[in-house]
Structure 1
Amino acid sequence: MSTAEHPAHAGTDGTRKFLVLLLGSIGVVYGDIGTSPLYAFREALRPFSHDGVSQEEVVGLVSLMVWTLTLIVTFKYVLFLLRADNDGEGGTLSLLALLMKKTGSYMPVLFFAGIIGAALFIGDAMITPALSVMSALEGLKLVTPALSDYVLPMATAVMIALFMVQSKGTAAVSNFFGPITVVWFLVMAWGGLIHIGDNLTILQALNPINALWFITHAGFVGLIVLGAVFLTVTGAEALYADLGHFGRKPIQTAWFVLVFPALALNYLGQGAFVLTHPEGADNPFYLMYPDWALLPVVILATLATIIASQAVITGAFSLARQAVHLGFLPRLQITFTSETNTGQIYVPAVNVLLFVGVIVLIFSFGDSESLATAYGISVTGAMVVTTLMSFQFLRSIWGWSALAAGAVLLPLLVLEAVFLGANLLKIHDGGWVPVMLALAIMLIMWTWTRGSHLLKEKTARHDIPLETFIRSIEKSKHPPVTVPGTAVFLTSVGDKVPAVLLHNIKHNHVLHEKNVILTVQTSEKPYVPENGRVTLTKLSDRFSKLELCFGFMDEPNVSKALGLCKKAGFKFEIMQTSFYLGRRTLIGDPNVGLPRWQDDLYIALSGLGIDPSTYFKLPANRVVEIGEQVTI
Structure 2
Amino acid sequence: MSNHKDLQKLTAAGLLISLGIIYGDIGTSPLYVFKAIIGTEGNNLSLPISQTLVLGGVSLIFWTLTLQTTIKYVVITLRADNKGEGGIFSLFSLVRRKAKWLIVPAVIGGCALLADGIITPPITISSAIEGLQTYYPGLPTMQIVIAIITCLFIIQQFGTSLVGKAFGPIMFIWFTMMGVLGIMYIAQMPMVLKALNPYYAVVLLTSNYNAFIILGAVFLCTTGAEALYSDLGHCGRKNIQISWIYVKACLILNYLGQAVWLLQREGQQVDISKQNPFFMIMPEGFLIFGIGIATIAAIIASQALISGSFTLIAEAVRLNLWPKVRINYPSEQKGQLYVPSANWLLCAGCIGVVLLFQHEARMQAAYGLSITMAMLMTTILVSKFLQRRKVPAYIIGIFLAVYLLIEGTFLLGNLHKFLEGGWFTLSIGFLLFVVMWTWHIARKIKNRYVKFIEIDDYYNIIKEMSEDESVPKYASQLIYLTSANFNSEVESKIIYSILQKQPKRADVYWLVHVDVVDEPYKSEYEVDHLIPGKLIRVDFKLGFRVEQQINLLFRRVVEDLVKNGEVDITSTYKSLNKHKIVGDFRFVVIEKVLSRSHNLSFYERVVMFIYSYLKRVSLSEERNFGLDLSFVTVEKVPLMLTSPETVKLTRVV
Q: TM-score scaled by structure 1?
A: 0.91
SS state at 1:336 partner:
coil
Q: Which amino acid aligns with 2:433?
A: M
Does structure 1 conserve the Cα–Cα contact (< 8 Å) formed by 2:38 and 2:47?
no
| Matches of 1:140 and 1:54, distance apart in 2 | 28
1:271 to partner: Cα distance: 0.3
1:565 to partner: Cα distance: 4.6
| Matches of 1:474 and 1:335, distance apart in 2 | 41
Counterpart for residue 6 of structure 1: none
Counterpart for residue 222 of structure 1: 211
Does structure 2 conserve the Cα–Cα contact (< 8 Å) formed by 1:376 and 1:423?
yes
Query: 1:275-318: per-residue Cα shift (whole Å, max 9, x none)?
Result: 01355562111111122211111111111111111101111111
Does structure 1 conserve the Cα–Cα contact (< 8 Å) formed by 2:9 and 2:238?
no
Query: 1:431-454: per-residue Cα shift (whole Å, max 9, x none)?
Result: 112221221111111111111111
Match for residue 364 of structure 2 among 369, 372, 378:
372
| Matches of 1:75 and 1:363, distance apart in 2 | 38
Query: 1:251-294: per-residue Cα shift (whole Å, max 9, x none)?
Result: 111111x2111101100000011001355562111111122211
Q: Which amino acid aligns with 1:38?
A: L
Instruction: Give the count of matched residue pairs.
Output: 605
Match for residue 481 of structure 2 among 483, 487, 490:
490
Counterpart for residue 174 of structure 1: 164
1:510 to partner: Cα distance: 2.5
Q: 1:185 to 1:589 in 2, by over 3 A?
A: farther
1:617 to partner: Cα distance: 2.4
Counterpart for residue 544 of structure 1: 536
Match for residue 324 of structure 2 among 331, 337, 344:
331
| Matches of 1:43 and 1:50, distance apart in 2 | 9
Counterpart for residue 99 of structure 1: 95
Counterpart for residue 449 of structure 1: 440
Q: Which amino acid aligns with 1:453?
A: K
Counterpart for residue 511 of structure 2: 517
Counterpart for residue 29 of structure 1: 22
Q: Which amino acid aligns with 2:503?
A: H
| Matches of 1:263 and 1:313, distance apart in 2 | 23
Counterpart for residue 626 of structure 1: 635
1:200 to partner: Cα distance: 2.1
Counterpart for residue 153 of structure 2: 163
| Matches of 2:437 and 2:181, distance apart in 1 | 47
Q: Does 1:420 align with 2:425?
A: no
Counterpart for residue 176 of structure 2: 186
SS state at 1:431 partner:
helix
Deviates more, 1:585-594 or 1:112-121: 585-594
Q: 1:589 to 1:269 in 2, by over 3 A?
A: farther
SS state at 1:85 partner:
coil
Counterpart for residue 7 of structure 1: none
Match for residue 294 of structure 1 among 283, 287, 291:
287
SS state at 2:14 partner:
helix
Report % sequence identity: 33
SS state at 1:146 partner:
coil
Q: Which amino acid aligns with 1:56?
A: T
| Matches of 1:14 and 1:327, distance apart in 2 | 28
Q: Does 1:271 align with 2:280?
A: no
Match for residue 38 of structure 1 among 21, 31, 34:
31
| Structure 1 gap ranges (5+) | 1-12
| Matches of 1:570 and 1:361, distance apart in 2 | 58
Larger Rg over CA atoms? 2
Does structure 1 conserve the Cα–Cα contact (< 8 Å) formed by 2:466 and 2:507?
no
Does structure 1 conserve the Cα–Cα contact (< 8 Å) formed by 2:465 and 2:505?
no
1:478 to partner: Cα distance: 11
Give the CA RMSD over aligned residues: 2.4
| Matches of 1:122 and 1:221, distance apart in 2 | 30
Q: Does 1:203 align with 2:211?
A: no
Does structure 2 conserve the Cα–Cα contact (< 8 Å) formed by 1:500 and 1:581?
no
Q: 1:317 to 1:244 in 2, by over 3 A?
A: same
| Matches of 1:178 and 1:590, distance apart in 2 | 59
Counterpart for residue 115 of structure 1: 107
Structure holding more helix per residue: 1
Query: 1:394-449: per-residue Cα shift (whole Å, max 9, x none)?
Result: 112x1123212112342222111111111012211111122212211111111111
Query: 1:24-73: per-residue Cα shift (whole Å, max 9, x none)?
Result: 11111101111100001110111497451211221111011011111111
Query: 1:163-190: per-residue Cα shift (whole Å, max 9, x none)?
Result: 1111111111111111111111111112
| Matches of 1:336 and 1:198, distance apart in 2 | 51
Q: 1:206 to 1:478 in 2, by over 3 A?
A: closer
Query: 1:352-403: per-residue Cα shift (whole Å, max 9, x none)?
Result: 221121111111111111111111111211111111211111112x112321
| Matches of 2:592 and 2:284, distance apart in 1 | 65
| Matches of 2:127 and 2:638, distance apart in 1 | 52
SS state at 2:73 partner:
helix
SS state at 1:360 partner:
helix
Counterpart for residue 5 of structure 1: none
| Matches of 1:392 and 1:509, distance apart in 2 | 50
Does structure 2 conserve the Cα–Cα contact (< 8 Å) formed by 1:491 and 1:498?
no
Counterpart for residue 575 of structure 2: none
Q: Does 1:580 align with 2:602?
A: no
SS state at 1:32 partner:
helix
Pairs within 5 Å for 1:147-162: 147=139, 150-162=140-152
Does structure 2 conserve the Cα–Cα contact (< 8 Å) formed by 1:534 and 1:565?
no
| Matches of 2:530 and 2:96, distance apart in 1 | 31
Q: TM-score scaled by structure 2?
A: 0.88
